[in-house]
Amino acid sequence: MRKKRRPQHRKKSSHRPHNKKNSRKQPRESLLDQQLLTLFYHSPKPLRDKDILEKLGLKHSSQKTLFHLLTDLLEKKILKKAGKHLYQAGPKHGLFEGVVDQNARGFGFVTNLTSKISPPGYSKDPFLSPSNMRSARHGDRVLIRVFKVKKDGRPEAEVLSILERGRDHLTGFISRENGKYIVTPEDIRYPFTVLLTTKPDGEIPDGYAVIVKLNDETDGASRQRGELVEVLGDPNSVDVQMRMVIEKFNLPHTFSEETAIQVENISDSVAPAENRLDLRKIRHVTIDGETAKDFDDAVAVTKTRSGYRLYVSIADVSHYVPPGSALDKDAYQHGTSIYFPGRVIPMLPEKLSNNLCSLVPDQDRYAFSAILDFDRQGHLKKKKFSKSVICSKKRFTYTTVKQILIDRDPEVRRAHKAFLTPLKYAEELARALMLMREKRGSIGFTIPEPFISLDDEGRISSIQRAERNFAHQLIEEFMLAANEAVAETFTENRLDGLYRIHERPSPEKVKEFIDFARSLGLTLPPFREDPDWFGEVLKVVKGTPKEYVINNLLLRAMQQARYDTKNVGHFGLAATDYTHFTSPIRRYPDLTVHRTLQAFLSRNAPVRVKKKDKGLSLTEMGKALSTKERDAVRAEREMNDRLKIQFMKGKIGEEFDAVISGVNSSAIFVELLELFISGGISLSSLRDDHYIYDEKHHRITGKSGGRSFQIGNVIRVKLLDVNSRSNRIYFAPVEAG
């Protein structure tokens, strides 16, 4: 290579930035640069300069430009020589792929970073300035080049190419502008408007919610083009809001025609068989909430000479859902049922979820039963599992069971006299199991949850604290016992099954929590890495104003539970073996657990179950299903928040009691004690004093009057405003005006 040509080429080149200082901050690579780096990223082996010309479709006249570009990249160590006329990615290639997480202000970050060349190794997600986003949108999978790492460890990058579009369908609000229809995306992470390329049929009222399909045409960063797909309607409707949440999180919510045909052909008959235990004489009962429609678990407890026998019978979904069938594929795509107030997106069609796989009273149903023998102290002594046929004898609600066992209501007890003894045995066993779990260190978080009631028109009629009584704990203990027993069977027989794992919290997060708690004046027990230490912390704040905040903060310090074939135990439950066996109607992982367990039982010997199912390994399935579960949780929370926003619109000026859940230099964050609705108090709205943020003690203090607002304090607030577009609620302290 003749390096003497380089100065001449640099002088004449028009595809490199002239301002070196500015180019380091925001390098705007030429199209040729982007294509070249993309080519090297995807190439499994070194490339010759002639091959590069051919693969990029360049003319022979471009050889000189390519030569100088390659030389420049070699000098920067983005590329390196692999032989004569051979090039490959160099030590400073900076080439990675990931998913764009865009901010409403135009900039973004790249998450889930991977690379075909070398591991990323960054402690923080790369930053994308608005100009370096190029035509990428939120959710797109992109190839980036990291060109700089700041002192705080934050990489800065630019988008080289879009590998896969994340979303081409968006929900938004339609309006007219100079005779044209414009759609403003509801999700603020898409900071542009969409010009409809074709005029809709008929008039659409301004503000109506619609779905649009984006195309690749653009009028700049702030204006995209697209086509109208569907008019959803008035966004004040709960059903329209639900569709908007479904579209935002890209949730599967329908079933294929093949599935419909398959389900239609499923027989309704249920009869005993040789491979099933006939447990119809066992007095199974279901215990659920008043509004429950699917009953996937039934229980029965009998007394034995040495203790108790517990039957946990779960709807045998695997009997109706063959692996690889259309129904199975749809169920896997859903991953989980999603519950909205007054609405549900089921994982399985109604014929199964509300009929054949619902353990309704006085109807024979196929089940998968765990039969567990305990001593009087709650130690598991024997376990057996079998496909079965059962007939539930009674549908109880949590309220009724509480009235029988705790309130000992004479009238209710008389009405259910036939079930008093088995319920008494169930109470005794449940209390023994609770005590066992507490002794081993299971963490008992006490975070209240809202119960949202809707009126006939789909609007919130009330928000109340969801009741949790001993009947809830009774069923929870029995489900935990069955889940642990199945997981122990997997471990004892070295089966490849999906475990429900919960890893230890990271030391850094625990330290942050301890420092935070101490800054609030709490005296904590000496730290231990065992789960029971966290339980002791919760006891310190139990019944105090700080209980809610500490429970939330401690929960945030924990890892997220997930599904995996590698069993590392469940930290929160202090369990060495744990899985999900008890809800195959609404959780696909439970369905895989049933299949694994049945495959083992049918062989009558310890065997290794094949990992392959539906073309994916169980490890891959566990990762995907964990993601689906988190998406479902986020969608449920968002739907609740949307309904809360509508509920609060008519309450501006009203006062509420609230707990301070957070503070920073610009705002105080509160949660209403009775309504479980979050909002903020802007410091600029506090007119009675000049307030200063005390980061060390997590409080805001008035400079003159000395009044302070600290996390965990209970205050009286007044509702100032509700912003539906940003889903934000604004309050002001009553005393401070």
pLDDT tier at 31 (50, 70, 90 boundaries)? confident
303-304-306 Cα angle (round to 5):
125
431 vs 477: CA distance, rounded Å:
9
Under DSSP, is residue 275 helix (H, G, I), strand (E, B) or coil? coil
Residue 17 near residue 147, CB atoms below 8 Å = no
Question: For the CA atoms of 352, 355, 359, 365, what is the dihedral angle to 10 degrees?
Answer: -80
DSSP state of 561: P
Question: Residue 703 has what pLDDT?
Answer: 87
Place of tokens 């060349």: 117
Under DSSP, is residue 479 helix (H, G, I), strand (E, B) or coil? helix
Q: What is the pLDDT of residues 536-546, one digit of tens each?
A: 999 988 888 78
Q: Which of 390, 389, 318 is nearest to 584 (CA)?
A: 318
Contacts of 395 (CB under 8 A, 6+ apart): 285, 286, 288, 295, 360, 361
372 vs 375: CA distance, rounded Å:
10
Question: Residue 603 has what pLDDT?
Answer: 80
What are the φ and ψ backbone dihedral angles of 520, each rounded to 5 degrees?
-90, 0
CA separation (Å) from 704 to 147, 255, 637, 700? 48, 63, 40, 12
295-299-304 Cα angle (round to 5):
175
DSSP state of 60: G
248 vs 112: CA distance, rounded Å:
20
Q: Which of 479, 53, 513 is nearest to 296 (CA)?
A: 479
Under DSSP, is residue 57 helix (H, G, I), strand (E, B) or coil? coil
Provide the pairing of β-strand 277-278 with 380-391: parallel
605 vs 412: CA distance, rounded Å:
48
550 vs 571: CA distance, rounded Å:
18
pLDDT tier at 592 (50, 70, 90 boundaries)? very high
Q: Which two tokens stand for residue 199?
A: 């005029």
For the whole model, what pTM was predicted? 0.86
pLDDT tier at 736 (50, 70, 90 boundaries)? low
Flag whether pLDDT at 14 surpasses 50.
no
Flag whether pLDDT at 608 surpasses 80.
no
Question: Residue 185 has what pLDDT?
Answer: 94
Residue of 585 and 606 predicted with greater confidence: 585
Q: Which two tokens stand for residue 98?
A: 């990931």
DSSP state of 676: -
- Looking at this protein, which amino acid is placed at residue 131? S
Flag whether pLDDT at 614 surpasses 70.
no
What is the arithmetic mean of pLDDT over 715-732?
Answer: 90
Q: What is the pLDDT of residues 356-389, one digit of tens each?
A: 999 999 999 999 999 999 999 999 999 999 999 9
pLDDT tier at 34 (50, 70, 90 boundaries)? confident
Q: Which two tokens stand for residue 380?
A: 């598991």
Question: Residue 23 has what pLDDT?
Answer: 39
- Whole-number average pLDDT of the chain: 89
Question: Residue 274 has what pLDDT?
Answer: 87
Place of tokens 């199991």: 433
pLDDT tier at 1 (50, 70, 90 boundaries)? very low
618 vs 500: CA distance, rounded Å:
12
Q: What is the pLDDT of residues 121-154, one digit of tens each?
A: 898 999 999 999 988 999 999 999 999 999 899 9
Residue 181 near residue 204, CB atoms below 8 Å = yes
Q: What is the pLDDT of residues 328-339, one digit of tens each?
A: 999 999 999 999
What are the φ and ψ backbone dihedral angles of 443, each rounded to 5 degrees?
-85, 125
Flag whether pLDDT at 484 surpasses 70.
yes
550 vs 174: CA distance, rounded Å:
43
Q: Which two tokens stand for residue 421?
A: 């003894």
Provide the pairing of β-strand 612-613 with 562-564: unpaired
Flag whether pLDDT at 471 surpasses 70.
yes
Q: Which two tokens stand for residue 695?
A: 């980061």
What is the arithmetic mean of pLDDT over 486-500?
Answer: 97
Strand positions, DSSP E, 201-288: 209-218, 223-233, 277-278, 285-288
620-621-622 Cα angle (round to 5):
90
Q: Which of 147, 32, 144, 43 is nearest to 87 (CA)?
A: 43
What are the φ and ψ backbone dihedral angles of 567, each rounded to 5 degrees?
-85, 110
Question: Residue 502 has what pLDDT?
Answer: 96
What is the arithmetic mean of pLDDT over 460-489?
Answer: 94
Radius of gyration of the chain (CA): 30
147-169 per-residue burial string, b: 16 or more CB within 10 A, e: under 16:
bebeeeeebbbbbbbbbeebbee
Q: What is the pLDDT of residues 166-208, one digit of tens each?
A: 988 999 999 998 889 999 999 989 999 999 998 898 899 999 9
Kindly state the percentage of the chain with pLDDT values over 90: 62
Residues in the chain: 737
pLDDT tier at 33 (50, 70, 90 boundaries)? confident
For residue 503, how far is the Cα from the chain centroid?
A: 17
627 vs 588: CA distance, rounded Å:
12
Q: What is the pLDDT of residues 405-443, one digit of tens each?
A: 999 999 999 999 999 999 999 999 999 999 999 999 999
Angle between helix axes 531-541 and 547-557 (nearest 10 degrees) is 160
24 vs 16: CA distance, rounded Å:
12
513 vs 554: CA distance, rounded Å:
7
- Domains identified in the chain and CATH numbers: 3-89 (1.10.10), 95-164 (2.40.50.140), 169-235 (2.40.50.700), 260-502+563-637 (no CATH), 507-558 (no CATH), 650-733 (2.40.50.140)
Question: Residue 725 has what pLDDT?
Answer: 75
234 vs 204: CA distance, rounded Å:
10
What is the arithmetic mean of pLDDT over 287-304?
Answer: 93
What is the arithmetic mean of pLDDT over 212-219?
Answer: 82
Q: What is the pLDDT of residues 234-286, one digit of tens each?
A: 998 889 999 999 999 999 999 999 999 999 999 999 998 888 999 999 999 99
- Looking at this protein, which amino acid is placed at residue 320? Y
Q: Which of 113, 118, 100, 251 is nearest to 190 (CA)?
A: 100
353, burial (CB in 10 Å: exposed 0-12, middle 13-18, buried 19+) = buried
CA separation (Å) from 725 to 137, 240, 684? 20, 15, 21
Flag whether pLDDT at 612 surpasses 60.
no
Q: Which two tokens stand for residue 521?
A: 């004046």
360 vs 293: CA distance, rounded Å:
9
Residue 666 near residue 730, CB atoms below 8 Å = no
Q: Which two tokens stand for residue 525?
A: 């027990």
316 vs 276: CA distance, rounded Å:
11
By 3-state DSSP, what share of the chain in percent is helix, strand and coil, each rounded to 5?
30, 30, 40
Question: Residue 68 has what pLDDT?
Answer: 85
